[in-house]
Every structure is written in C-alpha cells, then in structure tokens.
Amino acid sequence: MPGTMSVLRSLGCALLVLIMAAPAAAQIEDQLSAYTGDNATGFLQPLADSFGANLNDGWFHSGKVPAFGPHFAFEVRVMSVKFGSDDETFQAVTEGFVTETTVEAPTIIGPTDAVVATDPVTNAQFILPGGLDLSSFSLAVPQIRIGAFAGTEAIIRYFAIDTGDSEIGDISLFGIGGRHSVSQYLSPLFPVDIAVGFMWQNFKVGENSGGDELLSTDALSIGVQASKAMGPIQPYAGFGFDSYSMDVQYDADAGGAENLIDLEFESSSTAHLTLGAALDLWLFNINGEYNVADQNSFSVGLALGN
C-alpha cells in the first residue's frame, strides 16, 4: 500500500535523527577530558537536562485506554529541546593554578572556541575546551503500545545501535511503562477520557576506555492524562512529575595525569505539563505536543495501529 510505505519511510527518517547524532559521543569524551569534578558537572549540565526532558516526553497522546480486547500500535516519537543563551556557558574554576580563577567557559552545547586562562603567578595555562555549538537536541524513540486488559496497557521503548566505532561505542535505550483507565470507573456520560500511568527508562551513550558506558541516564515520569475526541481530532493534556539522573565515566588528563572520573549528577525532579492534539486517520495517528517543565520541549509522533 503506497500510504503505508510512505508512513514507514517517515518513521525510518525519524530514526536517523538519533543515528546521525552518534559521532558526538566521541567528541564529548574528548572535550570532557580536560575537566574534573564541578567543572565537568557544569560543562555537561545542559546535556543532562535535555536528556531528562526528551526521555520524559511522548509516552502518551490520549487519555483513552480500551477496557478489553486486542490493542497494538507501533509508534515513533521525535522529541526536541531548544537551548537558550544561558545554556551556552558556565562559571569554570581553573584547575592546578596557584591562584584559582573563575572563568566563563563554554558548556558542551556552547561555542566551539576554547578559552585559555593564564595563572598570574606561574604563567601556566589552562585550556577550557569549546562545546559542540548545538542550538537544540533531538531524540527519536520507537515504542510499542500493547493492551488491553481491565483498562490497562503496556508501553515499551527499545533500541540498540552498534555504531561500529570503538571511540563512540553503542547507543541503547530501554523503557517500560503502563497506563490504566480511570474513565471506566466514571459515568458513561463523563465527557473526558482519563488515565493514569508511569514510564521508566534507561538511556546509554558511548563507551569509555574501560569499556563502560560514557553516559547513562535514568528517567521516571508518573502522571495523569486526559483527552476529548472531537471527530478525528483529539486534544489531550497531561500533568505529572518527572525525575532523572545521569552518571558519567570518562578519562580526564587534567594536570598531565590520566584518571578515570566517575561523575554522578544529582537526581532532579520537576512538574510536567503537556498540551497536545492528535489526528486519527483510520489506523494512523499523527500527534504533536508542547511540554512545560524545568526544560521546555516539544514532541511529534506517528503511530500505526489501533
């Protein structure tokens, strides 16, 4: 069917958003190697925030969950965060200087030009690496939706990409969640479909010299969703709470000595408001949403199924 092939081509193109971004993993460790401790945290913070925002988007596009019967859909969601000017720099502290100096330095998404600081006592130089000059970060995620039993459905997200490059390593995501219909306990005349649900995910990027993941992010979202069908158009909304954390392991050569750094970002939590709309076209669903949280983002999706 021409229509089906067109949709599948679109889903394949969406997945390329992630695959084309893979080489950045090698650059991240190269840039990070100059930093230890708090400097590394400040350097990576915008990326950690964008991972958390993107992963906690796009796991629903309706408040309706069927009560019983076969229910299956294959979906691809593309989530994107746009960075602001405040994300481009951070206050770094020179390492190894007799007199510590605070310097405005690029973050991982900031300008590519390095900043050089000079110790006023010894004239030693500390190079603060440039960033990747990113205005936004997008992530394409395939997922399946399976149900329904007693008004409950399961959501599974998974991909694993072997980049074939020893410097980049593998990229993988595993997520599992579920939603339960609240509407089934309400009057049949109640005008809005309501559900509650959760989604947990683990996202791993790259590989360090020890063979472990360069970046590993955990994300959890819980919340309530509501929607109202108006013919083929279905506005929807959701409110919930998100949390995410990130661990980074990399080789640092600051000060001339190479050390394996294990960096743990503190778990962050935020309220999350979703406003979106879906268009149902027989077995196809096209949807888009805007998400308001600590890091605002937007998401679009295509679904094939019932």
Class level of CATH domain 2-84+138-305: mainly beta
pLDDT of residue 17: 44
* Distance (Å, whole) CA 278 – CA 58: 12
pLDDT of residue 306: 72
Q: Judge whether 176 and 155 are in contact, CB under 8 Å.
A: yes
More confident residue, 26 or 48: 48
Please list the alpha-helical segments (H only) found in the chain: 2-21, 24-32, 37-55
pTM of the full predicted structure? Answer: 0.84
* Distance (Å, whole) CA 71 – CA 155: 11
* Distance (Å, whole) CA 189 – CA 184: 11
* Distance (Å, whole) CA 184 – CA 181: 6
Tokens 């960075």, residue located: 83
> Is the pLDDT score of 37 beyond 90?
no
pLDDT of residue 262: 85
pLDDT for 141-163, tens place per residue?
899 999 989 999 999 999 887 76
Average pLDDT across the chain, whole number:
84
Q: Judge whether 234 and 212 are in contact, CB under 8 Å.
A: no
Q: Which two tokens stand for residue 39?
A: 């400097």
Over range 93-100, report the average pLDDT.
77
Q: Where are the domains of the chain?
A: 2-84+138-305
| pLDDT category of residue 4 using cuts at 50, 70 and 90 | very low
| pLDDT category of residue 169 using cuts at 50, 70 and 90 | low
Over range 251-268, report the average pLDDT.
74
pLDDT of residue 91: 93
* Distance (Å, whole) CA 96 – CA 18: 37
Over range 94-109, report the average pLDDT.
84
Phi, psi values for residue 90, rounded to 5°: -145, 165
Q: What is the largest CA-CA distance in the chain?
A: 78
pLDDT of residue 110: 92
Contacts of 125 (CB under 8 A, 6+ apart): 116, 117, 118, 119
3-state secondary structure of 30: helix
> Is the pLDDT score of 98 beyond 70?
no
pLDDT for 210-254, tens place per residue?
667 788 999 999 999 999 999 999 999 999 999 999 998 887 765
pLDDT for 61-90, tens place per residue?
999 999 888 889 999 999 999 999 999 999
- The length of the chain is 306
